[in-house]
Amino acid sequence: MQVKVLTVIGARPQFVKAGALSRAFEKSDRVEEIIVHTGQHFDENMSDVFFEEMNIPKPKYNLQINSLDHGAMTGRMLEGIEGIIKDEKPDLLLVYGDTNSTLAGALAAKKLHVKVAHVEAGLRSFNMEMPEEVNRILTDRISDYLFCPTDTAIDNLRDEGYDNISCAVVKSGDVMQDAAYFYAEISSEKSTIISELGLEKFCLATLHRAENTNDPEKLKCIVNALNEIHANKIPLVLPLHPRTKGKLEAFGLKLKVKTIDPVGYFDMIELIKHCDLVMTDSGGLQKEAFFFKKHCITMREQTEWVELISEGVNVLVGSDQTKIVDAVALMLNKNSDFEKDLYGNGKACENIINHILQNN
């Protein structure tokens, strides 16, 4: 019996994750997948070439909903996805992560009595001021299949009483590891960024999260730390997010590190593979550092990936200048075991598909 899956995605990282699972779906003669792009993160670079290069199936639908406040955006998405569900009549709606697209897709399906599968379920930052935290909690609560990337995610759901809720909680592993392993094989052919920039020993840094960039004092502390590290410890390479660039200018702050334009996924993989250390306030990059056996310094107060902290391969430093600088000295000289299976070792997609087919 064939299973019809409607996948809803809206942000570029979700396309990478969906690409991994979609390639696995295509190998099964029992799965028909239809992809909906809400348009949440408008990106003019997401052309046909993007999908071809990334080996990602092109969406059948693009709702082109973006640049709205949270409520308006989620409501418009809910309306659009509801219409598609009525037309396509899927057996299952699948969502990833914690965006407005994720919540809108799950809500639309649940109200029409269509099963919901949440990939990356159970993640928690325990910061309800983050819209992502609200989205992921609500999505988990109305999902039928909760595909958890880690033991910590399973524990979070158990602590919230999911043993008493009618749903399947599954430790699937992390589809980002599947994607990273797939793209790592071709990134060296597609990207020339290391030779173009003449990079040897360097630290890869990223800085974009609103909690850091919207606060002038926090941003100043981080900028001072990055400048100090670049001058005294190790050269920093920082792909500069346009919004971060605007905030730096607005607050009169100047980065004295090597800044480059934002890079694509293949270039980012090559930068991670060749760097000596990662510094970031991103969520996904913390994991990708681990996938490619790099230590990470996270410039946030919390992280969803607490297993990286407990394993000692990642350290939380917030925006404290002294902590950031001291962490670099610590992590550059640290030896760690990166062979531990924290995220499924590239088998997450296989585990997800097997569970879906066994239960539909």
Residue positions annotated with a catalytic role: 208
> Are 251 and 220 contacting, i.e. CB atoms less than 8 angstroms apart?
yes
> Are 97 and 133 contacting, i.e. CB atoms less than 8 angstroms apart?
no
> What distance in Å separates the CA atoms of residue 79 and residue 172, rounded to the nearest whole number?
30
> What distance in Å separates the CA atoms of residue 123 and residue 134, rounded to the nearest whole number?
11
> Are 77 and 100 contacting, i.e. CB atoms less than 8 angstroms apart?
yes
Residue 86: C-alpha distances to residues 90, 249, 323 (Å): 8, 47, 53
Taking the CA atoms of 74, 61, 22 and 184 in sequence, report the sign of the dihedral they define. Answer: negative
- Residues with Cβ within 8 Å of 29's Cβ and at least 6 positions away in sequence, in order, are 2
Q: What is the number of H-type helices and E-type strands within the chain?
A: 16, 13
Taking the CA atoms of 64, 55, 356 and 150 in sequence, report the sign of the dihedral they define. Answer: negative
- Residues with Cβ within 8 Å of 139's Cβ and at least 6 positions away in sequence, in order, are 95, 98, 102, 103, 106, 116, 118, 121
